[in-house]
Structure 1
Amino acid sequence: MKHISIIPLYDATMSSIDSCRQLFSRVNDFMKYQHKPPFYDVEIVGLAKNTMLSNGLYTINVDKTIEQVKKTDIVVLPLLCGDFKKAIHENKAYNNWITGQHRNNAEIVCLCVGSFYLASTGLLDNKKCAVHWAAKNEFKEMFPGIKIIDDTIITDENGIYTCGGGFSYLNLLLYVIEKHLGRDISILASKMFEIDIERKSQNPFMIFIGQKKHGDEIVLQAQEYIENNPTETFTVDAVCDKFSVGRRTFERRFKKCTDNSILEYIQRVKVEYAKKHLEAGKKTINEIIYEAGYNDIDAFRKTFRKITDLSPLEYRKKYMLQ
């Protein structure tokens, strides 16, 4: 039996704590139906017997305090909501216990932006981390040495798991259950809780937000120029000429500051423009593509799918306003 310690971090969401407790506990019911012993011993483990969440809106009566749990197998860090720097400070009292449990071979399951706290402990140093697309720039600013992954929703770094995207933590829990008990139990859990087990990416949900906290004024001006003119037909040379900079040097500067090449940035801005018009549903897809500055419809469709994992038609069907 694996002991799970769900940690009610300061600024954690009640829903993520309770979802973990319910999902892992329900797995024990599945095992019982198959005439097998329970697999998880699920407890909420905090600093004190009574822990407040959401500025006192909720109070959790924990099962045990960290002093009472000398050894655990899995530490679950819930989703955070609010000021990440403040949350890191308020949760420092957990640091030694969590890092000590990891040294003692405990797995760490970190839900969405709980990764801000996890990164502060040093356990993500030299590791990959999945981060919610809306928090990516802030995370990079606070933890520049950690490699952010945004093309998948789950990372698995030798027993440290992270996920990107709000309720994608449910997919992470299914992933962990599959590692422990196999695909059949994970699928059963996905059916019982109606979780889309095949969700692998944040891309269909992502809204492009350019990284602008870098201090390079010319790069910032170029970003704003591209963003303010989404229907223009840009070339990389034209952007460089506008700001009187050499292409080779400026491309390096731009990539370093924004994590995108100039061409990628142009493409992302145009895809974001197209997404908004696809959602509105007032124009044909081809009209939107031409307005975005593309004459080659197939080329735009390929770019759109690369960025969103969906075709323009699939995107419209999924998100068009009624």
Structure 2
Amino acid sequence: MQVLKVNILVSENALFSTVFGPFDMFIQAGVFWNKIHDLPLTPNFDVSITGLTDKEITGLSGAKIRPHKRISDDDDFDLVIVPSEGMNIQPHSQSFKRRVAYIKLMHERGAIVASICTGAFLLAATGLLNGKTATTHWALESPFRAAFPEVKLDTNLLIAEEGNVLTAGGVSADQDLCMRLIERCCDRDVALQTAKCTLVDFHNNKQSSFKSFVINKTHGDSAVLLCQKHIADNLHRTISISELAIFSNLTTKTLNRKFKKATNYAVNEYIQHLKVEEARRILEAETVSFEYVSQLLGYENVSFFRRLFKRLVGVSPKEYRRLFNGVESNSLPLAQKN
């Protein structure tokens, strides 16, 4: 089988875990498994780290790396990986612009290009994602949408794949991205072998269960801020828009309009998100039943709240507790089971 050339595009802003993680994952595909089973080594990828220059780079963590190649070396690659830059995105810098041009050139030459976390900002700046589905870290949804309105952003997805352009969600999604690319470029057997060796589950393609409801309190609307505080202080009971309208001295129509403009959510949607967020916090920390949690948050109809939870979080309360509390429902007393 042909050995494919992988280029990991490093910069001074990179999170090096998203450089070395993919480097190690690709370099051992066809190697680690074969060593374990005493088979001939069949490396599938030739991996290089490329920078704007070949000089040593200091990353955000203070760690240092010396690239193997420069973008001016004019090499061709089969895969180009764009690592995460954390929250330190600098779209007006020359470094950013030069890397964007390089990614676009590599794609024009036939390379598959893929980003990790905030690397999606560089990928989107090329225009390659316009009209296509993409993902990035859920906390960066608002700035990404503002910067790239033509991209169909879906931060529920862990991996978004549009032809030869892929984007991955958070930093640790680099593993899922590598598994998908190994499966795509080699075959499923090699991907499964790699997954077994590295203990990576590559069957999940959702980051919705990791997302946290981001509350906007910087909008400057005092009436909406009062309502937001009132909702947060009264999560244990049913809160109606009529109550909030009286509380804020506004009509229900005006309140809904102002609230949606300030927070991007209708009042009832906002209340539901906040109550589900509180339910998540309780499930993470305690072993009380979901029936108890539902009633604690003002939902007498437990089935409705369970469906709402699953719709907003992406998994059931039972599965969420297993993921983030480590408690299996069959280990709870009978009265406390979901």
Distance 1:266 1:21, change over 3 A: same
Instruction: Check 1:289–1:31 CA distance in 2 against 1; reply closer, same or farther (3 A cut).
Output: closer
What runs of 5+ residues in structure 2 fail to find an aligned partner? Answer: 328-338
Q: Deviations over 1:234-290 (max 9, x none)?
A: 34555456553454x765765566454433322110011112222231644333211
> Residues 119 and 89 from structure 1, CA distance in 2 versus in 1: closer, same or farther, beyond 3 angstroms?
farther
Provide TM-score, normalisation by structure 1: 0.86
Tell me which of 142, 149, 168 is aligned to 2:147: 142
Which of residues 305, 309, 320 in structure 1 aligns to 2:314? 309
Q: Identify if the C-alpha distance between structure 1 residues 209 and 56 changes in structure 2 by more than 3 Å, giving closer, same or farther.
A: closer
Aligned residues: 321
Which secondary structure does the structure 2 equivalent of 1:108 belong to? strand
Q: Percent identity?
A: 28
Of residues 4, 28, 52 in structure 2, which corresponds to 1:26?
28
Q: TM-score, normalised by structure 2?
A: 0.82
Change (3 A) 1:318 1:98: closer
**Which position in structure 1 is the counterpart of 2:130?**
125
For residues 43-83 of structure 1, what are the alpha-carbon distances to aligned partners after superposition, in whole Å with 9 as ceiling and x for unaligned?
11111112313258222222211111342221100121242
Matches within 5 A, 1:261-300: 261-281=266-286, 283-300=288-305
Q: Which residue number corresponds to residue 49 of structure 2?
A: 44
The residue number in structure 1 matching 2:197 is 192
Task: Report the counterpart of residue 153 of structure 1 in structure 2.
Answer: 158
1:13 to 11, 15, 18: 15
CA-to-aligned-CA distance 1:130-173 (integer Å, 9 cap, x gap): 12122223323433443220222111122111111220121111
In the alignment, which residue of structure 2 is the partner of 1:2? 4
Matched residue type, 1:8: V
Give the structure 1 partner of residue 335 of structure 2: none
Aligned to 2:231, the other structure's residue is in SS state helix
1:210 aligns with: 215
- Please give the alpha-carbon distance, in whole angstroms, between the structure 2 residues aligned to 1:241 and 1:2: 65
Judge conservation of contact 2:90–2:96 (CA < 8 Å) in 1. no
Task: Name 1:68's counterpart in structure 2.
Answer: 73
Gaps of 5+ in 1: none
**d(CA) in 2 for partners of 1:174 and 1:121?**
25
Aligned partner letter, 1:23: M
C-alpha RMSD of matched pairs (Å): 3.0
Higher helix share: 1
The 3-state SS of whatever aligns with 1:195 is coil
Displacement of 1:209 in angstroms is 0.8
Task: Give the aligned residue type for 1:7.
Answer: L
